[in-house]
């Protein structure tokens, strides 16, 4: 991964941590999933050392990581989702 992608990923992690403090873990998890973070990384980002301690040993984990949409509480996501959609529309209109 080049340094530009590293910086972008670090910024997304920081945004997710702000979401976690302000809106809760479900909103932060939804943001990270939308930004294509692996489930194991999401657990480490949101739960820190707790997730590392309960993780299975490498040889017992499968190499395929299947993810599904995370259901988020209705109260937290609609404003965030609306902001993301508006942002995408603005970016698309600029192009």
Does 63 map to a domain?
A: no
Nearest to 64 by CA among 32, 29, 31, 40: 40
Do 39 and 30 form a contact (C-beta atoms < 8 A)?
no
* Total number of domains constituting the chain: 1
Does 33 map to a domain?
A: yes
Does 62 map to a domain?
A: no
Segment 33-59 shows an average pLDDT of 76
Question: What's the confidence (pLDDT) of residue 55?
Answer: 54
d(CA 46, CA 15): 12
Domain with 78, as residue range(s), is 3-57+68-94
pLDDT of 11 higher than 80: yes
Question: What's the confidence (pLDDT) of residue 40?
Answer: 86
Question: What's the confidence (pLDDT) of residue 70?
Answer: 57
pLDDT in tens, 57-85: 555 555 555 555 555 555 555 667 777 77
Answer yes or no: pTM beyond 0.75.
Answer: no
């Amino acid at each position: 991964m080049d340094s530009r992608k590293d910086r972008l990923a670090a910024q997304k992690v920081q945004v997710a941590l702000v979401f976690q403090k302000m809106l809760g873990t479900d909103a932060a998890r939804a943001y990270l999933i939308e930004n294509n973070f692996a489930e194991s990384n999401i657990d480490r980002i949101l739960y820190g050392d707790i997730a590392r301690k309960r993780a299975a040993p490498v040889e017992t984990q499968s190499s395929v990581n299947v993810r599904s949409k995370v259901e988020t509480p209705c109260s937290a996501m609609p404003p965030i989702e609306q902001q993301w959609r508006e942002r995408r529309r603005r970016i698309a209109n600029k192009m």
